Amino acid sequence: MKKVIIILVILLAIFIIAGQWQTANGVKNSITKAFAKEWYGVADGCGLDNVRDINRQIYGFRATIEYGCGFTEKAGSNRSTIVYVLPLGFVYGIPK
């Protein structure tokens, strides 16, 4: 049991240290690429409008994205959601 706890603590420390090289621009690029990859090949899919409120967390970054789906004529009809970027560049929370 002690070995498991020690391994988990070491992995957590590595995980936290690995995220220190990330910047807000790098996070924005990771989110943009992940969003484009998720919606690639969808005929009437969604488009990313804005990445805002990028905040550093202990596990990486948290950001709010604004996106539009389909054809809308109303201004301000964008949707928004929160996404998470882990230190190794993995992005979670992209809508599909």
Indicate whether 18 pLDDT > 70: no
pLDDT tens-place string over residues 25-74: 889 999 999 999 998 888 777 888 889 999 988 778 999 999 888 766 56
Which pLDDT does position 31 carry in this prediction? 93
Give 79's contacts (C-beta < 8 A, 6+ positions apart): 66, 67, 68, 69, 95
Would you kindly state where each structural domain of the chain is located, as residue ranges?
Answer: 2-92
> Does the pTM exceed 0.85?
no
- Report the distance separating Cα 52 and Cα 78, nearest Å: 13
Indicate whether 81 pLDDT > 90: yes
Do 84 and 55 touch, CB atoms closer than 8 A? no
Kindly report the CA angle at 37 between 49 and 87, in degrees rounded to 5? Answer: 85
- Report the distance separating Cα 35 and Cα 81, nearest Å: 12
Which pLDDT does position 33 carry in this prediction? 93
8-state DSSP, 59? T
